[in-house]
């Protein structure tokens, strides 16, 4: 799906038919629930679904409308790594904790995609790889060290040379790292689907 970018507007929300936007009752008075979740974005709705699936009575509260805050205006990217340097995490917290952070992030990305498929949410889930590129030779040296550290820790990280990066991404860069297991989706539809499933 290609849409024209209009800054300050969400293509996900704008393209969703107004007649299909779900309405939920306003909360008034006493609320009897084992768990109350404040915030009806993607995270809040996924959490509500997890509690409901476990048989726990849950209430989900949002100030305005579900999915119309940060989730509905996000990129819809499910990243398979935390987006920080493995080497920096390793220096700050040690090899074991850095490895654990990357593994947990990847597992969360895979679990989110599996949940969307299992619930058959109509949110245009598409598997997508991640590319991190170095635009200078100095940055390429740092990126190569990063890739070697990730590979030594058993993490997914394929180093690409300038030719492969140009062919793959149409970017002139001396080096790049490719990782799998990411995905894209329509975050607004995914949020509404999780709320309905909860």
- Listed in sequence order, the residues at least 6 apart from 89 whose beta carbon sits closer than 8 Å to its beta carbon are 82, 97, 98, 101, 102
21 to each of 24, 123, 193, how far by Cα in Å? 10, 14, 11
pLDDT the model gives residue 5: 60
134 contacts 175 by C-beta, under 8 angstroms: yes
pTM of the entire predicted model: 0.87
Strand 35-38 relative to strand 58-61, pairing: parallel
Instruction: Give me the count of residues in the chain.
Output: 198
Task: Give, for all 198 residues of the chain, the pLDDT tens digit.
Answer: 555 666 678 989 998 999 999 988 888 889 899 999 999 999 999 999 999 999 999 999 999 899 999 999 999 999 999 989 999 999 999 999 999 999 999 999 999 999 999 999 999 999 998 889 999 999 999 999 999 999 999 998 999 999 999 998 898 999 999 998 999 999 999 999 999 999
pLDDT the model gives residue 28: 87
């Amino acid at each position: 799906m290609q849409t024209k970018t209009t800054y300050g507007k969400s293509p996900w929300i704008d393209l969703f038919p107004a007649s299909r936007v779900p309405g939920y009752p306003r909360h008034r008075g006493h609320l009897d629930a084992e768990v109350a979740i404040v915030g009806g974005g993607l995270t809040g709705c996924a959490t509500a679904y997890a509690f409901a699936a476990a048989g726990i009575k849950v209430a989900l509260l949002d100030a305005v409308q579900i999915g119309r805050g940060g989730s509905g205006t996000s990129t819809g990217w499910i990243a398979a790594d935390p987006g920080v340097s493995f080497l920096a995490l390793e220096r700050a917290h040690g090899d074991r904790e850095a490895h654990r952070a990357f593994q947990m992030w990847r597992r969360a990305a895979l679990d989110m995609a599996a949940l969307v498929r299992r619930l058959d949410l109509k949110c245009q889930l598409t598997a997508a790889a991640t590319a991190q590129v170095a635009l200078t030779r100095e940055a390429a040296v740092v990126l190569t060290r990063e890739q070697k550290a990730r590979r030594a820790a058993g993490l997914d990280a394929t180093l690409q040379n300038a030719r492969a990066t140009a062919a793959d991404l149409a970017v002139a860069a001396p080096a790049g790292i490719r990782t799998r297991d990411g995905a894209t989706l329509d975050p607004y539809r995914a949020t509404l689907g999780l709320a309905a499933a909860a």
